[in-house]
Amino acid sequence: MSKYRKYILLAIFGAMVCYSGSDWLLGQFSGPLASLEHRKVELRHEIRQVERQLDHAHKTAKEMDLWKAQSLPSDVEQARSAYREWLLELVGHVQFVDPNVDSGEPVNRKGMAHATSLSFSLRARGTLAQLTRFLYDFYSAGHLHQIRSLSITPVQGTEALDLAISIEALVLPNADRKELLSSKRSNRLASERVDDYQSIVERNLFGVGGSAQVADYAFLTAVNYVDRQPEAWFSIRTNDSVLKLRQGERLEIGSFKGTIAAITDTDVVVESEGERWLLTVGENLSQAAALPPEY
């Protein structure tokens, strides 16, 4: 009996040794295996970073090729003179009245290596139809330029608008031309046909459907709270009437039709034909400011 007990004890001891040995072996390998797995994750992350950098470099290279073709001439002074002449020709083509074009001093453009920024200011008077044609021709041109700001002030009693336009154009030192402007056309416009933009003229909010007099005498006089709900009060001074409208209600003055999109303590946003216009208390419809699409 003691003999068998000895064998049993030896077997148990051997099992314990094997178990301890397996733990020891696992301990020896688990650390390196975990390190390898961690390193594999790091390598995958680094590969994705490199791929993104390569994609960005490829995209930047393509953009640079396009920018070089659109850039003003690489000679900065020649670029300023040629672009100002082009602006004057465009102003003459659309028949703005009393135009004035000035240019500022060249400035190194931050964020774009070695690029030079040229600023131009244009002041003139014209109709909405003329402004629409100007913008169409401006963005059809294949120049590396953009309108930085556009101020429109209706002239009371007329269809004329006082315009103040700020423009920026860029000169790249590696442009493919030294003296001449690009002759290529741009593809930035949604439509290549100028007639497709006639709807902008037809929806002229400045004239409320072609009647500037009505727009001049339709004032946002107050924003009042009734039953804790804001109401926009419009005073129509041609007939001494008052419109009291809440958000979502229709605004109809003359042939103009719109909807009250938003009301704050001092401002009202009017939406008409997919466009949004901002009115501040004290202003008439002719003074409404167009809002960018993101607002």
Between the CA of residue 185 and those of 19, 68, 86, 95, 216, what are the distances in Å?
80, 14, 14, 22, 39
Q: Fold match between 76-200 and 206-290?
A: no
pLDDT at residue 138 tops 50? yes
Task: Tell me the pLDDT of the chain averaged across its residues.
Answer: 78
- Give me the CATH code for the 206-290 domain, please: 2.30.30
* Sequence ranges of the domains in the chain: 1-66, 76-200, 206-290
Q: Which residue has better confidence, 180 or 136?
A: 136
* AA letter at 264: T
| Residues 210-237, mean pLDDT to the nearest whole number | 82
Instruction: Output the 3-class SS for the chain.
Output: CHHHHHHHHHHHHHHHHHHHHHHHHHHHHHHHHHHHHHHHHHHHHHHHHHHHHHHHHHHHHHHHHHHHHHCECCCHHHHHHHHHHHHHHHHHHHCCEEEEEEECCCEECCCCCCCEEEEEEEEEEECHHHHHHHHHHHHHECCCEEEEEEEEEECCCCCCEEEEEEEEEEECCCCCCCCCCCCCECCCCCCCCHHHHHHHHHCCHHHCCCCHHHHHCEEEEEEEEECCEEEEEEEECCCCEEEEECCCCEEEECCEEEEEEEECCCEEEEEECCEEEEEECCCEHHHCEECCCCC
Percentage of the chain modeled with pLDDT above 70: 71
pLDDT of residue 160: 87
Name the residue with tokens 């005073």. Answer: 235
C-alpha to C-alpha distance for 273 and 129, rounded to whole angstroms:
17
pLDDT tens by residue, 73-91? 888 899 899 999 999 999 9
Beta-carbon-side half-sphere exposure of residue 254 (alpha carbons within 13 Å): 21
Q: Is-contact 107 120, C-beta < 8 A?
A: no
Q: Is the pTM of this model over 0.85?
A: no
pLDDT tens by residue, 158-213? 788 999 999 999 888 877 777 788 778 877 777 778 888 777 776 655 554 444 55
pLDDT tens by residue, 278-292? 999 998 887 888 887
Residue 252's pLDDT band, with cuts at 50, 70 and 90, is confident
**Architecture field, domain 76-200:** 2-Layer Sandwich (3.30)
Q: Which residue has better confidence, 251 or 10?
A: 251
C-alpha to C-alpha distance for 92 and 215, rounded to whole angstroms:
29
